[in-house]
Amino acid sequence: MMALYRRTLKVYPISAKYWLNSNGYQSDNFARHDYGTKGSFGGFTDTIKTVNNTPVIFIHGNSDSALHKTLEQSYFGWDNSVGYFLQNGYTIAELYATSWGDTDALNAAKRTHNCALVQSLRRFMQAVLDYTKAPKVSFVTHSMGVTLGRKIIKGGQIQASDGNCDIGPPLNSKVEVFVGLSGANYGLCNCMGTAADFEKTCNKKDGFWPGDSCGMNYMDCGLHPLMFPCTSPTYSSFLSQLNADKTKEGDYVFCAWSNKDDLIEYNDYVWGKPTSEIPTADGKKVYPSYTHMQTKGETAADQFNMVKNKAIPS
């Protein structure tokens, strides 16, 4: 929560670290100093001491970060989104993110929805609520950040690769808008078969395993239309519990994805339904040709419209 957003050469100073250290969050490493000025953002300044808009928490995806670390990573981080929100009436005291994991793509296959990670991000949500004293927050999430964000709000149990845990009661009464961009809510077809055994992020407990069959359909979860009827497919325990829980993630829930997503592939389909569609969504938007990272980096205006105006852009 304690970081810097750099637009041209102007730097916004943040004093949140003193609050974090004084309120029981000193060991959470939300500032992520190991990323320099790119590890997190959000906080009051000498001239901004209150919030007028509902604070927004941004949760990035696997191998991403709060802000991009190099100029070559134009679609990494939330730079475009933060810049757009700042230009349209928000302040840096109303926009928050912390980097989770690391940006090394070679480690992407190792990351799961484990207890430690979900509990850490849930504490980050609570920290933003306590720090801003706002009655509610909104979320903009991308990729694995969608399923992580949904779980920290819904609460409940997790059967995880690092053990089982109960992260607590639902927090949806404290969420105004939840936006999920290109999330794998029903898993990833590339996690079928042996991938579930050899890649941790695909595992059958807290990974993106989509199941290997649905009815008479076998090892073809991305096929659309499916050859045979498909009802009640089996996903990883984490995803099954997440989607079975009908607790709405916020007052308003929106989702968006691309038919040309180069990470999810298969026109976003998993066993006949878009994996990026959130079951409780009030509205959705489908982009015809964006890549996985472009659904975040090129959609700042749409994100703003969903958060601020509670509406899906036309």
Assign residue 62 the CATH number of its domain: 3.40.50.1820
Question: Is 66 a member of any domain?
Answer: yes
Question: Is 314 a member of any domain?
Answer: no
Question: Is 221 a member of any domain?
Answer: yes
Q: How much is the pLDDT for 12?
A: 38
Among 27-41, 99-113, 248-262, the minimum mean pLDDT is found in 27-41
The first and second tokens of residue 45, run together, are 């300044």
- Give the residue-averaged pLDDT of 184-201: 97
DSSP codes of every residue in 254-294: EEEEETT-TTT-GGGEETTEETT--TT-SEEEEESS--TTH
The total number of structural domains that make up the chain: 1
Distance of CA 191 to the CA centre of its chain: 19
Among 111-115, 132-136, 254-258, 309-313, the minimum mean pLDDT is found in 309-313
Question: Is 57 a member of any domain?
Answer: yes
For residue 37, is pLDDT > 80? no
Task: Report yes or no: 149 and 139 within 8 Å, Cβ to Cβ.
Answer: yes
Task: Report yes or no: 171 and 245 within 8 Å, Cβ to Cβ.
Answer: no
- 165 Cβ contact list (under 8 Å, min separation 6): 115, 119, 157, 158
**What's the angle, vertex CA 40, arms to CA 281 and CA 304, rounded to 5?**
35
Crossing angle of the two packed helices 300-309 and 79-87, in degrees rounded to 10: 50
Q: What is the pLDDT of residues 204-254, one digit of tens each?
A: 999 999 999 999 999 999 999 999 999 889 999 999 999 999 999 999 999
Q: What is the DSSP letter of 54?
A: P
Give the torsion sign (CA, 113, 116, 121, 123). Answer: positive
For residue 8, is pLDDT > 70? no
For residue 260, is pLDDT > 60? yes
Question: Is 14 a member of any domain?
Answer: yes
From the CB of residue 6, how many other CB atoms can be counted at a distance below 10 Å? 15
Compare 168 and 38 and report the one with higher pLDDT.
168
Helix, strand, or coil here: 95?
strand
Crossing angle of the two packed helices 237-244 and 144-154, in degrees rounded to 10: 60
Question: Is 1 a member of any domain?
Answer: no
Q: How much is the pLDDT for 13?
A: 41
Q: Among all chains, which residue has been given the structure tokens 């070679």?
A: 106
Question: Is 180 a member of any domain?
Answer: yes
Crossing angle of the two packed helices 144-154 and 115-132, in degrees rounded to 10: 70
- 44 Cβ contact list (under 8 Å, min separation 6): 14, 15, 16, 93
Question: Is 254 a member of any domain?
Answer: yes
- Enclosing domain of residue 14: 6-309
DSSP codes of every residue in 114-172: -HHHHHHHHHHHHHHHHHH--S-EEEEEETHHHHHHHHHHH--EEEETTEEEE--S--G
From the CB of residue 170, how many other CB atoms can be counted at a distance below 10 Å? 15
For residue 73, is pLDDT > 80? no
Q: How much is the pLDDT for 4?
A: 41
For residue 168, is pLDDT > 50? yes
Phi and psi angles of residue 249, each rounded to the nearest 5 degrees, phi first: -70, -15
Residue type, 150: R
- 74 Cβ contact list (under 8 Å, min separation 6): 68, 297
For residue 44, is pLDDT > 70? yes
